[in-house]
Amino acid sequence: MRKSWVVIRREFLERVRTKWFLVGTVLGPVLMALLIFLPAVMVSRSGAERAIAVMDVTTSEFGQRVTEVLDERGRLQATRMQVEAAALETTADSLAQAVGRKEIDGFLIVTDQTVEDGRAEYRGSNATAQIEMEMLQHFLGQALLTERLNQVGVDPQLVAHANSVRLDMRTVTIRGGEATEQSGEATFMLAYFMWFLLYMAILLYGVQVLGAVVEEKTTRIVEVLVSSLRPFELLMGKVLGVGAVGLFQLSIWAVTARLLLTQRDVIGRMLGLEGPAQAFPLPEVPVSTIVVLLIYFVLGFFLYAALFAAVAAMSSTEAEARQAQAPVTIFFVIPSVLSLMAMLTEPDGALFVALSYIPFSSPISMPLRWVVSDVPIHELIGSIALLMLGLLLITWIAGRIYRVGILMYGKRPSPKEVWRWVRAS
Amino acid sequence: MSDQLAVELLGVTKRFAGHTAVRDLDLMIPTGSVYGLLGPNGAGKTTTIRMIMAIIAPDVGSVRLFGQAKRGRELSQRIGYLPEERGLYRKMKVIDLLVFMAQIKGVSGRHAKKSAVEWLELLGLSDWVEKKVDDLSKGMQQKVQFISTLQHEPDLVILDEPFAGLDPVNTQVMKDVIVELTRRGTTTLFSTHIMEQAEKLCDSICIIARGAKVVDGSLRDVKREHGGSHVVVAVEEGVESVADILDDRSLVSKADNYGQYAELELVDGADAQRLLHGLVSSGATVTRFEIAEPTLNKIFIDLVGPDAATPRAEEVPNNA
């Protein structure tokens, strides 16, 4: 046991000391922070101080109305310019120069044509800013509607009343028979994020175990090691060591994600942002979700790490191991993708429930179910128990393959031979 | 008796799928000796060593180390093992690697570090303590591997083909190390298929072929028993002038005539002095008359035959 500890320590320290670990650990939270704050930064930078000119070539009051609507409701500074149709191009040129000198951000051209067939034109330096253009279009459309209703003689007050309503539909997730504060979109974001995290972490760290086993085998260090400790102790040390690195990294990510989300207003203010402006709804990450995530990562990682170790032990070279890992990887990818699809199509369907019980898919499926739907606690415990049972069986088989395989060189064993290794006493 | 044996194998047999790697092998390695396990490739040397190290278990028979029935793993602190194929963790720092290799054998971290630094100094690698293994030349990596085998001051050192792939400088380092270890009372067991090295270093040997023992014992006894009498003769007039004496089949069983000198093998029990007397009384001027010990190589080829090597079969246990 003490010797397993030496192996665990080596695996952990050697991996944590690498540049990749540092880069990965720091990059995770940085990307999350960007995801959370970048839209807010962009909105606060753009929204406030856009100055545009409204080039009014109309003969009606439409130009005037557009300018008022934009100025009042559109977080814009809009200035109207009355222009004769004949002078349109020369004025446009001089306004373009003004945009070039950054005196204004752009200008909107409205003509009598606009009222008739809805055609308008905006030229500006921010023409590619999706949100701003949508806003401009929205208010222009409102002004247009008002103008046309006025033309057919509808009471202006009635029009103003109709226009004053804004549609705002909220989506709310129901859990445990109660509505949560969480929007459906945010729940989906969190589930998708967790899927990605688990998928990457189990696969990446599982493959690291594969690499570690092959390294020891090709360098024959394994012979010296198994003359000092039992093959199973060695295998356990490796899996626990690599797993500890994964758990460490994942915990750092999970905790920083939670901190970033719960403290985002505080951090936002520190960054000089006004209000929680965000491009999409952000989820809350309850502690229970983090715990479920970590439990399933650990168990799922152990399961696949054991399989990867067995596959590595059967191979004599790195190239061979890379080939041999493909079946295990496919074995992992297919249930993972199925889980994601089941979640998207039928979060309460039988397939999703079944996947959350099968030990090969539950490490991914159950955390997703936990986030998107209401999982009774006994189902969670049942799934964990099944996974542990599967883990014991797989580890037992993998350990036996590993024990014989690490000392074998030469051609790849046939399935029949591998079965004989498993049965060998 | 057995407390004077560092290693004792009794009736050890190991079968792999398709063939028997080691068959009913008895091995007695006296404490403090330098013991050579000799045999052609595929004779079962590595399998025997792996069983001594408890890396694999024999199907039949027993392995005792230091007179105890304990398994090799429990005694790993008293054993240093250099496998046939070499390798180290390439990305590790030299010092971290050595400390790890010592700790895995049960040495405490602090003690391991101290002795690793001493060894690195001894073998001229002081400047490389904090370097990664990858940055070392192949020769330096070999030295690091010696250190990893010997740093915990084992009582028994087991070296599988220790000279394979070594450059001349490191071959000398390795030999010096073995001599020094013997002086300190360490038991050394090494396997080789190169007889010249065994002849220089060993005091006892065991020759195995096709998994079975051919001969064992002290080098002197083996030579005496299996050597026969070898005589090298040169005469001033040329060997041809005494051809009739060399053809005497009651005295000489085989003569290799090289013109300037001849190598003779005497008939069993024949007296070399009678041959010398015959030569002198024939009037020839004898310039060289040497009763030579046979080389181990010759004994080996005589006993095992030139085609003793068997292809290495796959080592799959069939004791399912």
**Structure letter (DSSP) for residue B3:** G
Task: Tell whether the model's pLDDT for residue B317 goes beyond 80.
Answer: no
The answer on pLDDT for A319 being more than 80 is yes
Q: Is A229 touching B (CB cutoff 8 A)? A: yes
Q: How confident is the model at residue B303 (pLDDT cuts 50, 70, 90)?
A: confident
Q: Choosing among A221, A225, A400, which should be mutated to test the B contact, i.e. which has the most B CBs within 10 A?
A: A221
Distance CA B25, CA B215 (A): 11
Judging contacts by C-beta atoms under 8 Å, the chain A residues touching residue B314 are 408, 410-411
The pLDDT assigned to A375 comes to: 87
Q: How far is B15 from chain A (nearest CA, A)?
A: 13
Q: Looking at residue A357, what is its pLDDT?
A: 93
Overall average pLDDT of the A7-20 stretch = 92
Per-residue pLDDT at A360 exceeds 60: yes
Put simply, the chain A residues between 168 and 207 with a CB less than 8 A from any chain B CB are: none
As a CATH number, domain A49-163 is 3.40.50.800
Show the CA angle centred on residue A200, arms to residues A199 and A204, nearest 5°: 120
Of B73, B103, B315, the CB nearest to A227: B73
Report whether pLDDT(A65) > 70: yes
Average per-residue pLDDT for chain B: 84
pLDDT of residue B210: 86
- When CB atoms are compared, the residue of B55, B73, B104 closest to A407 is B55
Q: Whose CA is closest to B183, among B29, B20, B34?
A: B34
- pLDDT for residue A180: 64
Using one digit for the tens of pLDDT, what is the confidence trace for A133-188?
888 888 888 888 888 888 888 887 888 787 777 666 766 767 666 666 666 777 88
Residue A227 to residue A12: CA distance in whole angstroms: 22
| Lowest-confidence region among A118-132, B122-136, B155-169 | A118-132
The Cα of B29 is separated from the nearest Cα of chain A by a number of Å equal to 19
Higher pLDDT among residues A220 and B227, named by residue: A220
If residue B227 lies in a helix (H) or strand (E), which one and from where to where? helix B219-227
Say how many C-beta atoms besides its own lie within 10 A of residue A270's C-beta.
9
Instruction: Render pLDDT for B67-105 as a digit per residue (tens, 0 to 9).
Output: 887 777 788 889 999 988 888 998 899 999 999 999 999
For residue B290, give the 3-state DSSP assignment.
Answer: strand
Q: Does A7 touch chain B (CB under 8 A)?
A: yes
pLDDT digits (tens, 9 = 90+) for A97-110: 888 888 888 888 88
Out of B84, B105, B316, closest to residue A228 by CB: B105
- Asked if A3 lies within 8 A of B104 by C-beta distance, the reply is yes
More reliable by pLDDT, A383 or B298: A383
What are B172's two structure tokens? Answer: 């000398």
**Interface check A318 vs B, CB under 8 A:** no
Domain positions in chain A are: 2-41+183-423, 49-163
Provide the pLDDT confidence category of residue A240 given band limits of 50, 70 and 90.
very high
pLDDT at A16: 93
* Residue B313 scores a pLDDT above 50: no
What per-residue string of b and e applies to A7-17 under the rule 16 or more CB within 10 Å gives b?
Answer: bbbbbbebbee
Interchain contact, B106 vs A219, CB within 8 Å:
no
- Residue from the list B73, B84, B87 with its beta carbon closest to the beta carbon of A219: B87
Q: Give the mean model confidence (pLDDT) for residues B172-187.
A: 88
The C-alpha angle B269, B271, B276, rounded to 5 degrees, equals 155
- pLDDT value at residue B311: 42
Chain A, 13 to 32: residues with Cβ < 8 Å from chain B are 14
Work out the minimum CA distance from A398 to partner chain B, whole angstroms.
17
- Report the distance separating Cα A393 and Cα A354, nearest Å: 20
Contact B157/B150 with Cβ under 8 angstroms? Answer: yes
Is it the case that residue A317 has pLDDT exceeding 50?
Answer: yes
Show the domains of chain B with their CATH numbers. Answer: 2-224 (3.40.50.300), 229-293 (3.30.70)
Q: B239 pLDDT exceeds 50?
A: yes
| pLDDT beyond 90 at A334 | yes
Q: pLDDT digits over B256-283, tens only?
A: 887 788 888 887 777 888 888 888 888 8
Query: What is the C-alpha separation between B82 and B62, in angstroms, rounded?
Result: 22
Q: What is the mean pLDDT of residues A82-92?
A: 84
Q: What is the pLDDT of residue A112?
A: 84
Residues whose CB falls within 8 Å of the CB of residue A400, separated by 6 or more in sequence, listed in order:
A421, A422, A424
Q: pLDDT, tens digit, for every residue of B29-43?
A: 999 899 999 988 888
* Whether A220 and B86 lie within 8 Å, measured CB to CB: yes
Q: How many angstroms separate the CA of residue B185 from the nearest CA in chain A?
A: 23
Contacting residues for B156 by C-beta, under 8 A, at least 6 apart: B6, B7, B65, B66, B78, B79, B80, B186, B187, B188, B189
Average pLDDT over every residue of A25-46:
76
Contacts of B85 in chain A (CB under 8 A): 220, 223
Percent of chain A with pLDDT over 90: 29
| Contact (CB, 8 A) for B204 and B30 | yes
For residue B2, pLDDT over 50 is answered with no
Is pLDDT at B191 greater than 70 in this prediction?
yes
Candidate from A6, A226, A417 with C-beta closest to B55: A226
Whether residues B92 and A14 touch (CB distance < 8 A) is answered with: yes
Condensed to tens digits (0 to 9), the pLDDT of residues A378-412 reads 999 999 999 999 999 999 999 999 988 888 877 77
Note the pLDDT of residue B5: 86
Say whether pLDDT at A303 is over 90: yes
Question: What pLDDT is attached to residue B218?
Answer: 87
Contacts of B211 by beta carbon, 8 Å cutoff, 6+ apart: B19, B20, B21, B22, B23, B25, B43, B44, B47
Q: How far out from the chain centre does Cα B44 lie?
A: 13
Instruction: Mark yes or no for CB contact A228/B106 under 8 Å.
Output: yes
**pLDDT score recorded for residue B318:** 40
CA distance A228 to chain B (A): 5
Tokens of B137: 């030349």
Predicted confidence (pLDDT) at residue B57 exceeds the cutoff of 80: yes
Q: Say if residues B94 and B131 touch (Cβ distance below 8 Å).
A: yes
- Which residue among A228, A410, A424 sits closest to B104, beta carbon to beta carbon? A228
Q: Does A101 touch chain B (CB under 8 A)?
A: no
pLDDT of the residue at B319: 37
Listed range (A306-315, B202-211, B231-240) with the worst mean pLDDT: B231-240
pLDDT in tens, A176-217: 666 666 667 778 888 888 898 899 899 999 999 999 999 999
